[in-house]
Amino acid sequence: MSGFKNFILRGNLIEVAVAFIMATSFGLVVTSFVAWLTAQMPESAADYFSNKENSFGAFLNAVISFVLLAAVVYFFIVVPYTKAKEKFFPAEAAGPSELDILTQIRDSLAK
């Protein structure tokens, strides 16, 4: 079981999955935006009003869906993942900084 935990928490599996989910959702936003832009240039005047309203509604729906999905992914995947990673794999204590090491070398050479 610890091997699976290491696989999930140490690798980039969660980051890649979140990126895939968000990219797919953003692709829908871009697709609906392009559909809305192309509806602004209809072939006939009769198509102008019907396509304009429908495609803007689809674009607005895609933007709202993207924001809601981003919130759900952040609060239900990213935050728990970050907390679990900090709990099971705490950050290693930082050693002395470069300035401290250089100061020690200077002091040793001065003696």
DSSP the chain: -HHHHHHHHHSSHHHHHHHHHHHHHHHHHHHHHHHHHHHTS-SSHHHHHHHHHHHHHHHHHHHHHHHHHHHHHIIIIIHHHHHHHHHHSPPPPP---HHHHHHHHHHHHH-
pLDDT, position 46: 55
pLDDT, position 66: 96
Give the chain's residues under pLDDT 50: none
For 82, the domain range is 2-110
pLDDT, position 90: 78
Count up the domains in the chain and report the number. 1
pLDDT, position 23: 96
pLDDT, position 53: 66
pLDDT, position 100: 87
